[in-house]
């Protein structure tokens, strides 16, 4: 981390404005601003004064303990995320406490934003939606991490769509950068490219899972695009490709909780079959529509057996299935029987 970024982070953590810090150090707010933008540097004699003001070591001013800080933040993220689904209120409080301790952490704020928008979708809670919009705006204005910035813009675009502000959502999305995965030279990819044997396998297995998920999602969203413009033949082809990818990489041919290498793919599996059924119905193919509905029904009733949430509350999953069935207009072909 650059010196300017470290000064900005420590100042914010101390609850000071640039004016207040400048006053204590007997420099102008403009000087503090230049330090934080790395267009100017503080006199070396001011460094011990800043360390004293912030209650940290001189090493901290120069960012030598940033690695330890990131480790602590990552630990807090993991601890809070344990409650993401089962206890969102507790998860929120843990994230808020962590952000109070590390107020400039983009990753903590992005995780909290995910919590807000997920609950706004699931429970239709306007309180969560309002919190999500506010936090997304804050991240867009302040985030230095490009991944957190992109997550914030995506969330705000989703909120705009809920408010029927399609053009605003489109404008915001158009401001996102392109980040082609193969241009990333991260640990996963470089290990897969360069190392050998077990060392290569340690990372490439996870990479394959990620790419498999990306591929079936891309096929499905392509199908959705064709479906929206009434091109049901091409939509059918794309949705079928999505199902083919999922089934190609399942651990077993038999539908079960253990068959899916990525937990959650079960929902994509039955969902894409319902979309295929809808395409057949639109194209006047009732027999194919019926067979595909039967396949989707079999998946939703078998793919989650063994999952604790399913066993305690199968209605949680079935309600989503019913909602999608109605949305695709399949009631016109056959009344829902689940």
pLDDT tens digits along 294-336: 999 999 999 998 888 787 888 888 999 999 999 999 999 999 9
Average pLDDT for residues 50-70, to the nearest whole number? Answer: 74
- CATH architecture of the domain with residue range 205-332: Alpha Horseshoe (1.25)
Q: Is the pLDDT of residue 93 over 80?
A: yes
Domain boundaries, the chain: 3-61, 81-177, 205-332
Dihedral sign, CA of 140, 143, 149, 151?
Answer: negative
Share of the chain above pLDDT 70, in %: 96
- CATH architecture of the domain with residue range 81-177: Alpha Horseshoe (1.25)
pLDDT band at 9 (very low <50, low <70, confident <90, very high): confident
- Residue appearing with tokens 């401001």: 175
Q: Is the pLDDT of residue 58 over 80?
A: no
Q: Is the pLDDT of residue 55 over 90?
A: no
Average pLDDT of the residues of the chain: 91
pLDDT band at 66 (very low <50, low <70, confident <90, very high): low
pLDDT digits (tens, 9 = 90+) for 108-145: 999 999 999 998 876 556 789 999 999 999 999 988 78
The yes or no reply on domain 3-61 and CATH 3.40.50.300 is no
The pLDDT, as a whole number, for residue 181 is 73
pLDDT digits (tens, 9 = 90+) for 187-219: 899 899 999 999 999 999 999 999 999 999 999
Contact 33, 18 (CB under 8 A): yes
The pLDDT, as a whole number, for residue 140 is 95
Counting Cβ atoms within 10 Å, is residue 70 exposed (0-12), middle (13-18) or buried (19+)? middle
Average pLDDT for residues 56-71, to the nearest whole number? Answer: 72
The pLDDT, as a whole number, for residue 241 is 98
Contact 317, 304 (CB under 8 A): yes
Identical topology for domains 3-61 and 81-177: no
């Amino acid at each position: 981390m650059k010196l300017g970024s470290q000064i900005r982070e420590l100042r914010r953590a101390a609850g000071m404005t640039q004016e207040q810090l400048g006053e204590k150090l007997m420099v102008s707010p403009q000087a503090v601003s230049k330090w934080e933008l790395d267009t100017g540097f503080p006199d070396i004699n001011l460094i011990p004064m800043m360390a004293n003001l912030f209650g940290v070591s001189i090493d901290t001013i120069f960012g030598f303990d940033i690695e330890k800080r990131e480790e602590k933040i990552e630990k807090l993220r993991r601890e809070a995320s344990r409650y993401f689904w089962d206890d969102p209120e507790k998860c929120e409080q843990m994230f808020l406490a962590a952000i109070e301790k590390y107020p400039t952490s983009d990753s903590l704020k992005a995780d909290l934003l995910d919590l807000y928008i997920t609950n706004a979708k699931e429970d239709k809670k306007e309180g969560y939606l309002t919190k999500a919009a506010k936090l997304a705006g804050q991240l867009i204005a302040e985030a230095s991490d490009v991944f957190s910035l992109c997550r914030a813009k995506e969330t705000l675009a989703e909120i705009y769509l809920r408010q029927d502000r399609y053009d605003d959502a489109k404008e915001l999305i158009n401001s996102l950068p392109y980040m082609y995965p193969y241009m990333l030279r991260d640990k996963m990819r470089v290990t897969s490219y360069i190392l050998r044997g077990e060392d290569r396998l340690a990372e490439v297995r996870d990479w394959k899972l990620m790419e498999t998920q990306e591929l079936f999602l891309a096929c499905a969203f392509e199908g959705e695009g064709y479906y929206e413009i009434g091109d049901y033949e091409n939509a059918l082809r794309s949705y079928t490709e999505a199902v083919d990818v999922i089934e190609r990489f399942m651990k077993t041919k038999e539908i079960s909780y253990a068959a899916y290498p990525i937990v959650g793919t079960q929902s994509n599996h039955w969902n894409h079959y319902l979309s295929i059924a809808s395409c057949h119905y639109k194209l006047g193919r009732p027999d194919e529509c019926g067979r595909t509905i039967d396949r989707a029904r079999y998946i939703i009733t078998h793919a989650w057996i063994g999952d604790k949430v399913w066993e305690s509350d199968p209605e949680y999953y079935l309600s989503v299935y019913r909602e999608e069935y109605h949305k695709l207009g399949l009631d016109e072909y056959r009344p829902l029987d689940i």
